[in-house]
Amino acid sequence: MQRYKIIIEYDGSNYVGWQKQDNGLSIQESLQIAIKKQTQENVEVFGAGRTDAGVHALGQVAHFDLDRNLTIKEIQDGLNQYLRPQPIAIIEAKKVEKDFHARFSAKKRIYSYTIVNRRSPLTIDKNKAWVVHKKLDTELMNSASKFFIGNHDFTSFRSSSCQANSPFKTIDKVRVLREFNNIFIKVEAKSFLQSQVRIMVGTLVNVGEGKLKPKDIELIIKSRKRSKAGPTAPSEGLFLTTVIY
């Protein structure tokens, strides 16, 4: 038996998310089907991050075990062939030891959220960003983002359907960058609660619009109430960019 680690890029627009579900096609199921076509083996593919419906990945990581011992070139090219024409691609494949686990061995996950801050609707970036019409003050958003850093009870920043046992998470870095009309919010942590990044982004947008002050983030965290935080930013602006082991 050989364990393989793969790095996957995908456009999540037309998928129900990473996780296999009954209500539509997921990235996980698409990969399992492609592996079955290539190897005739029924495998479970374990992912580093359970991205929601509509969320994209530049560097999702997953692992699976095969009885057959294929070269990494066979894995990469073969799966890319069988995934066609879906917008899912294996950008790297590697043989790993049996103690590697895509989800549990991950030391850090980096997400990036794209906002296009302008009056007009999206064209080229359709389904790849959140268009916010009101002018956002990114300096205020950057100041606000610093209050997320550290270990906190993030009850105010988790989806009501979040199943994690503990609401405590440690945010290592948050940065808000502006390039003309594009705003990128980059967040790094070992792991996140469900919808945490999107609720953080929605709340930072409230700060950028002037509805909240940067220091309010501290009070919202302390309140431990989802209703105090901002809206959940739409899934289409979110990218899982990197997983570090």
Does position 37 bind a second copy by CB under 8 A?
A: no
Q: Tokens 């948050």 — which residue?
A: 174
Stretches 30-38, 41-49, 118-126, 154-162: which one binds a second copy (CB under 8 A)? Answer: 118-126
Q: Which of 11, 52, 65, 172 is catalytic?
A: 52
* Nearest by Cα to 17 from 69, 60, 75, 74: 60
For residues 30 and 86, is the Cβ–Cβ distance under 8 A? yes
Q: How far is the CB of 167 from a second copy (least distance, A)?
A: 32
For residues 217 and 203, is the Cβ–Cβ distance under 8 A? yes
Q: How far apart are CA 222 and CA 244, in angstroms?
A: 30
Does position 124 bind a second copy by CB under 8 A?
A: yes
Number of C-beta neighbours around residue 134 at 10 A: 11
Stretches 17-25, 103-111, 121-129, 213-221: which one binds a second copy (CB under 8 A)? Answer: 121-129
Does position 56 bind a second copy by CB under 8 A?
A: yes
Element holding 175 (H helix, E strand): strand 168-179
Does position 123 bind a second copy by CB under 8 A?
A: yes
Indicate if 153 belongs to the active site: no
Q: How far is the CB of 34 from a second copy (least distance, A)?
A: 13
Smaller CB separation from a second copy, 107 or 119: 119
Stretches 40-48, 98-106, 112-120, 156-164: which one binds a second copy (CB under 8 A)? Answer: 112-120
3-class DSSP state of 122: coil
Q: How far apart are CA 88 and CA 67, in angstroms?
A: 24
Considering only residues 79 to 98 of the shown chain, the ones binding a second copy according to CB under 8 A are: 80, 84, 87-91
Q: How far is the CB of 55 from a second copy (least distance, A)?
A: 12
Task: Tell me which of 11, 29, 74, 172 binds a second copy, using CB under 8 A.
Answer: 11
Does position 182 bind a second copy by CB under 8 A?
A: no
Does position 10 bind a second copy by CB under 8 A?
A: yes
Beta bridge partners of 170: 151
* Nearest by Cα to 238 from 155, 148, 115: 115
Q: Is the peptide bond before 121 cis (omega within 30 degrees of 0)?
A: no
Smaller CB separation from a second copy, 11 or 209: 11
Element holding 82 (H helix, E strand): helix 72-83
Residues taking part in catalysis: 52
Residues that bind a second copy (CB under 8 A): 9-11, 56, 58, 76-77, 80, 84, 87-91, 118-124, 126, 128
